[in-house]
Amino acid sequence: MPFVETRKDMLMVGVIVALLLVWLVLAILGAVIEGFFWLTVVGVVLFLATAGYAAIKRRSGRRVS
C-alpha cells in the first residue's frame, strides 16, 4: 500500500521545512554580521539537528510526528 499523506503529515513536513529555513537564515545572518559568529554556530547546529531528525524518521518508515 503506498504511503498516503494525511493533513497531519503535511503539517509536520511544513513545520520541519519552516524550521530549516529559520536555522538557515540565522546561520547566514551570523556569518554576515561579524559580531554574531555564535549565531552562525547555533544556526548550523540547529539546521543539522532538524535535518537529521527528519532523515532518521523518514528512513525508518515512520511518519515524522
Domain boundaries, the chain: 20-59
User: Which residue, 61, 55, 51, 40, is CA-closest to 17?
Assistant: 51
pTM for the model? 0.56
Q: What is the average pLDDT score of the chain?
A: 77
Residue with cell 552562525: 40
Highest mean pLDDT among 2-6, 14-18, 33-37, 60-64: 14-18
Residue 57 clears pLDDT 50, i.e. is over it = yes
- What span, in angstroms and rounded, lies between the C-alpha atoms of 8 and 10? 5
Residue 1 clears pLDDT 70, i.e. is over it = no
